[in-house]
């Protein structure tokens, strides 16, 4: 591989160099996972994406997302930035006003509203923390592992880690 075209997209702004940048490689199918990881390390952005042919017929494209260190199943700003790059390149979605991205988390619906792109976030997956996770959180907060409690905020369906304040 001697040359590879990509776009650097400023997400969450219309002002150049003021957004959250993502590198988008629109021809990802010819690259191996190792090459994708190497390119992501080279761009040194928080994420670099690779637009590929979907494996699910309901999707318009498959997006692979890499940090400089590893691949992610999903991330919000790379999803928006990549959708923008796909549309800017001239892709016409089969359903007007809607893109469907396939990624490691499954299918993600993206609504096209003029210049704005709105995504439906995938359902989060929660797991119980391991003892070592719990110890690391407690150590980082300067409390004992017994002080860290699991909680849930039913208003927003978010699971929380709760550490009551105490005097030292």
CB neighbourhood size of 116 (10 A): 8
Residues 6+ apart with CB under 8 A from 161: 137, 148, 149, 150, 151
Q: Is 151 helix (H, G, I), strand (E, B) or coil?
A: strand
Q: Is 47 a catalytic residue?
A: yes
Q: Is 91 helix (H, G, I), strand (E, B) or coil?
A: coil
Task: Check 27, 47, 102, 128 and give the catalytic one.
Answer: 47
Structure tokens belonging to residue 122: 């995938």
Please tell me the distance from the alpha carbon of residue 110 to that of residue 118, in angstroms, as a whole number. Answer: 5
Question: Which helix (H) or strand (E) element contains residue 116?
Answer: strand 116-119
Q: Closest Cα to residue 64, out of 77, 81, 84, 78?
A: 78
Q: Return phi, psi of residue 133, to 5°.
A: -60, -50
- Catalytic center residues: 47
């Amino acid at each position: 591989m001697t040359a590879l075209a990509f776009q650097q997209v400023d997400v969450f702004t219309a002002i150049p160099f003021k957004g959250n940048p993502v590198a988008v490689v629109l021809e990802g199918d010819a690259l191996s996972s190792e090459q994708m990881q190497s390119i992501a390390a080279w761009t040194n952005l928080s994420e670099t994406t690779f637009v590929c042919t979907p494996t699910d017929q309901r999707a318009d494209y498959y997006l692979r997302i890499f940090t400089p260190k590893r691949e992610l199943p999903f991330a919000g700003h790379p999803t928006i930035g990549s959708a923008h790059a796909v549309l800017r390149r001239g892709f016409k979605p089969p359903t007007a006003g809607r893109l469907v991205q396939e990624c490691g988390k499954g299918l993600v619906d993206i609504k096209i509203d003029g210049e704005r792109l709105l995504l439906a976030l995938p359902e989060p997956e929660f797991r119980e923390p391991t003892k070592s996770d719990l110890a690391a959180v407690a150590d980082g907060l300067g409390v004992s592992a017994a002080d860290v409690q699991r909680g849930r905020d039913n208003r927003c369906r978010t699971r929380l880690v709760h550490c009551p304040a105490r005097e030292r």
